[in-house]
Amino acid sequence: MSTLDVVTDASVVAKRNLIKIKRVPDLLVFTTLSPIMFVLLFAYVFGGAIDPTGGGAAYREFLIAGIFAQTVVFGATNTGAGLADDVKKGIIDRFRSLPMAPSAVLTGRTLSDVVNNVLVLVVMSITGLIVGWRINTGPLEALWGFVLLLIFAYAISWIMAWLGLLIPSPEVINNASFIVIFPLTFVANTFVPLDTLPGPLRVFAEWNPVSAVTQAARELFGNPDPNPMSAASLAWPLQHPQLYTLIWAVAVVAVFAPLASWQYRRAASR
3-state SS track over 37-94: HHHHHHHHHHHHHHCCCCCCHHHHHHHHHHHHHHHHHHHCHHHHHHHHHHHHHCHHHH
pLDDT of residue 99: 73
| d(C-alpha 205, C-alpha 260), whole Å | 28
Residue 55 has pLDDT above 70, yes or no: no
pLDDT of residue 59: 79
Q: Is 204 exposed, middle or buried (0-12, 13-18, 19+ CB in 10 A)?
A: middle
Residue 244 has pLDDT above 90, yes or no: yes
DSSP state of 224: -
Q: In percent, how much of the chain has pLDDT > 90?
A: 31
Greatest alpha-carbon pair distance for the chain in Å reads 64
Mean pLDDT, residues 140-163: 94
- Cα-Cα-Cα-Cα dihedral sign, residues 186, 191, 196, 202: positive
Residue 25 has pLDDT above 80, yes or no: no
pLDDT of residue 66: 92
Mean pLDDT, residues 7-36: 73
Task: Pinpoint the alpha helices (H) of 167-240.
Answer: 170-186, 199-207, 209-221, 236-239
Residue 248 has pLDDT above 70, yes or no: yes
- Residue 140: Cβ within 10 Å count: 9
DSSP state of 132: T
Cβ atoms of residues 157 and 76 within 8 Å: yes
Q: In percent, how much of the chain has pLDDT > 70?
A: 86
Which of the given ranges, 15-29, 123-137, 154-168, 207-221, has the highest pLDDT on average? 207-221
pLDDT of residue 155: 95
pLDDT of residue 199: 84
Phi, psi angle pair for 244, to nearest 5° = -65, -40
Distances in whole angstroms, Cα of residue 159 to Cα of each of 35, 47, 256: 22, 33, 6
pLDDT of residue 139: 93
**193 vs 213, more confident:** 213
**186 vs 22, more confident:** 186
Residue 165 has pLDDT above 90, yes or no: no
Residue 103 has pLDDT above 80, yes or no: no
- For residue 212, name the pLDDT band (cuts at 50, 70, 90): very high
Residue 159 has pLDDT above 60, yes or no: yes
**189-199: per-residue pLDDT in tens?**
898 888 888 88
**62 vs 3, more confident:** 62
Chain mean position to CA 176: 16
pLDDT of residue 247: 97
